[in-house]
């Protein structure tokens, strides 16, 4: 999924989120040069 700021709101995969939902969203920056497996944090 891709999260981004759009006119002061948060969009997740191009769908604007209500403020009450967006305030609970946590995102991590991913290096696009890495595969998803390489970018995933180890648990």
Residues 1-43: tens digit of each pLDDT: 788 888 888 888 889 998 888 888 777 766 777 776 676 664 4
For residue 3, is it within any domain?
yes
Distance, in Å, from the CA atom of 36 to the CA atom of 14, rounded to the nearest integer, reads 20
* pTM for this prediction: 0.53
The count of structural domains within the chain is 1
Angle at the Cα of 19 from the Cα atoms of 12 and 23, rounded to 5 degrees: 80
For residue 39, is it within any domain?
no
Domain range for 10 is: 1-28
Q: Which H helix or E strand runs over 3? A: strand 3-6
The predicted pLDDT at position 6 comes to: 86
The predicted pLDDT at position 42 comes to: 47
The predicted pLDDT at position 41 comes to: 60
For residue 43, is it within any domain?
no
For residue 37, is it within any domain?
no
For residue 14, is it within any domain?
yes
For residue 35, count other CB atoms closer than 10 A to its CB: 7
């Amino acid at each position: 999924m891709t999260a981004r700021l759009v006119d002061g709101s948060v969009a997740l995969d191009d769908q604007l989120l209500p403020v009450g939902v967006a305030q609970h969203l946590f995102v991590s920056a991913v290096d696009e040069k890495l595969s998803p497996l390489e970018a995933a944090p180890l648990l």
